[in-house]
Amino acid sequence: MSTARTWAVALSGLDGALVEVEADLSNQRPEFRIIGLPDKALAEAVQRVHNASANCGLVLPRRRLTVNLSPASLPKHGSAFDVAIAIAALATEGAMDSDSIAQTVHIGELGLDGRLRPVPGVLPAVMAAAREGIGRVVVPHANTAEASLVEGIEVVGAVSLADVARWHGAEVEDRHLDPVPAPVSADDASRAPELAEVIGQRDAVDALITAAAGGHHMMMSGPPGAGKTMLATRLPGILPPLDDAAALEVAAIRSLAGDSVSALSRRPPLEAPHHSASIAALVGGGSRVVRPGAIARATHGVLFLDEVGEFAPSVLDALRQPLESGAITIHRAGVAASFPASFQLILATNPCPCGNYGVRGASCACPPIAIRRYLGRLSGPLLDRVDIELGLARVSVAQTAAFAADAVTTDAAAARVAEARGRASHRLRDTPWQLNARVSGPWLRDGPLALAPVVRRPLDAALHRGSLTLRGYDRVLRVAWTLGDLAGRASPTVHDIGRALFMKKGITT
């Protein structure tokens, strides 16, 4: 037999496409070429396949081998095609079960010694293979746990190329090789930080729980040391655990970013990029291989922008489109990659460059123009999407003593959030939305559950006075609904409206 075929997966963002790897042996001088838009790393597969085969005791045919990656017009990157290329090439002459090879997806990079090295993006690749109805996938031993997270596909973890060939029926001697270990990644299995560690700041904790319950974007403003970062890092702990689909998506993005994934984490991710981040770092980018940025890694979780006033305005404005659509599409020459980006945005800022503006007992040294310029950077469209604005003060000595006893624990807060979310999704069951923060304004104002004029009165007054825009009006309504859900009421009261109004106008500039 002089041709053989097998499968591999080409990734573009989180989308995987099956690639048919076809090898043809023609009776010509020995030569080995790969066609079908390979990049540099992929074209170098020739050398890796040569040496890996030789060191595994497998004999590559000594004739002209042409390996075609089809569809030939789809650009292919990286070293994850090595195993598929090697197996197709060896199968042109060697005794392997061609049916078994033609029904298997092979993913993995080859070392010169013939061992299979782990590659990034195994999880989305295996997901794509399962979706296309492929029954079996061969992955590097170090990626076995990750690939096994996908249901409905048989996963074979292989240590070396000889293992793969033997598995397809070739007769190769078994030399014991140690598997290449998975890269060590930061372990996030530790418990989430405890909410009860936040001393005082009762209003802030309540606001955080409200934000978690309704999925509201939040902005915190306060002097250094008030606990903004502490609060933000406790948000993932009180959000409901991720469901299967969301956890798989989060894991797929982590895999694509090069982290090793061995188990599904149910905890929503927290991404806190530094304020020097570029647009590409935040939304994702790269020249040929598009990598996920911070907002994609924060999907189904929290994006925390500390010192938001220090971010470049262009970077902040890049958030507007994903905030609206819940996804980001990145275009580069020849590729467009899509990533999910439905995150909860938490912004934190000082009230002014020196941080002391409006703080009792401290004096602000900033000229008024500097204060205006500082917060002016995040005016407009971005702030329009923030539902809760929270002013934080430093904790006084009296508060530390008084409130330490009845601090809200993470577990208690998570229970309240889960209950409120259950109430909201039950109420919104006939609508396309699940969270209060996503509900459309017209539905809130004039839908079947529109509030009675008596309840709405403080809000209407604020609108007439001109201190609230119509968009702001909708935002206050959403937060009021969440407050009602948290309190276990069927619909918000005047009291809830008042509190929501306070939360929207919480920061005085």
Partner 1 sequence: MAAKDVLGRAGEDRAARYLEERGYVVLDRNWRIREGELDLVVARPGELVVVEVKTRRGDGFGHPFEAIDDRKQRRLWRLAVAWIAAHPDQAQGRRLRLDAVAIIGPDPAIAVVEHIEDLR
- Binding footprint of partner 1 on the chain (CB under 8 A): 27-30, 62-63
What lies within 8 Å, CB to CB, of 315 at 6+ separation is: 277, 278, 279, 282
**Are 95 and 170 in contact, with CB atoms under 8 Å apart?**
yes
Q: Provide, rounded to whole angstroms, the least separation between the CB of residue 50 and partner 1.
A: 11
Distance CA 503, CA 492 (A): 15
What lies within 8 Å, CB to CB, of 213 at 6+ separation is: 416, 417, 420, 421, 424, 436, 482, 485, 486
Q: Provide, rounded to whole angstroms, the least separation between the CB of residue 296 and partner 1.
A: 47
Q: Which is nearer to partner 1, 28 or 325 (CB)?
A: 28
Q: Provide, rounded to whole angstroms, the least separation between the CB of residue 132 and partner 1.
A: 36
Q: Provide, rounded to whole angstroms, the least separation between the CB of residue 25 and partner 1.
A: 12
Q: Provide, rounded to whole angstroms, the least separation between the CB of residue 244 and partner 1.
A: 53
Compute how many other C-beta atoms are within 10 angstroms of the C-beta atom of residue 274: 12
Q: Which is nearer to partner 1, 27 or 73 (CB)?
A: 27
Q: Which is nearer to partner 1, 27 or 287 (CB)?
A: 27
Q: Which is nearer to partner 1, 63 or 377 (CB)?
A: 63
Q: Which is nearer to partner 1, 27 or 190 (CB)?
A: 27
Q: Which is nearer to partner 1, 32 or 357 (CB)?
A: 32
Residue 399: exposed, middle, or buried by beta-carbon count in 10 A (0-12, 13-18, 19+)?
Answer: middle
Q: Provide, rounded to whole angstroms, the least separation between the CB of residue 56 and partner 1.
A: 18
Structure tokens at 293: 């940025």
Residue 34: exposed, middle, or buried by beta-carbon count in 10 A (0-12, 13-18, 19+)?
Answer: buried
Compute how many other C-beta atoms are within 10 angstroms of the C-beta atom of residue 182: 19
- Measuring CA to CA, which residue among 463, 435, 396, 501 is closest to residue 300? 435
Q: Provide, rounded to whole angstroms, the least separation between the CB of residue 84 and partner 1.
A: 25
Q: Provide, rounded to whole angstroms, the least separation between the CB of residue 30 and partner 1.
A: 5
Q: Which is nearer to partner 1, 32 or 81 (CB)?
A: 32
- Measuring CA to CA, which residue among 266, 261, 6, 251 is closest to residue 143? 261
Compute how many other C-beta atoms are within 10 angstroms of the C-beta atom of residue 87: 29
Count of CA atoms in the C-beta half-sphere (13 A) of 256: 31
Pairing of strands 109-110, 104-106: unpaired
Q: Which is nearer to partner 1, 30 or 442 (CB)?
A: 30
Distance CA 481, CA 497 (A): 8
Q: Provide, rounded to whole angstroms, the least separation between the CB of residue 163 and partner 1.
A: 26
Q: Which is nearer to partner 1, 50 or 438 (CB)?
A: 50
Sign of CA dihedral 352, 382, 306, 416: positive
Tell me the Ramachandran region of residue 64: left when phi exceeds 0, alpha when psi lies from -120 to 50, beta otherwise. beta
User: Beta strands of 13-108 (E only): which ranges?
Assistant: 15-26, 31-35, 64-70, 104-106
SS (H, E, C) 367-431: CHHHHHHHHHCCCCHHHHCCCEEEECCCCCHHHHHHHCCCCCCHHHHHHHHHHHHHHHHHHCCCC
Q: Provide, rounded to whole angstroms, the least separation between the CB of residue 281 and partner 1.
A: 46
Q: Provide, rounded to whole angstroms, the least separation between the CB of residue 81 and partner 1.
A: 25
Which amino acid is present at 19? V
Q: Provide, rounded to whole angstroms, the least separation between the CB of residue 332 and partner 1.
A: 36
Q: Provide, rounded to whole angstroms, the least separation between the CB of residue 68 and partner 1.
A: 18
Q: Which is nearer to partner 1, 67 or 158 (CB)?
A: 67
What lies within 8 Å, CB to CB, of 142 at 6+ separation is: 117, 118, 179, 180, 181, 182, 183, 260
- What Cα–Cα distance (Å) separates residue 131 from each residue in 128, 150, 181, 349, 472? 5, 10, 28, 44, 43
Helix (H) or strand (E) segment spanning residue 149: none
Q: Which is nearer to partner 1, 3 or 26 (CB)?
A: 26
Q: Which is nearer to partner 1, 29 or 191 (CB)?
A: 29
Q: Which is nearer to partner 1, 60 or 330 (CB)?
A: 60
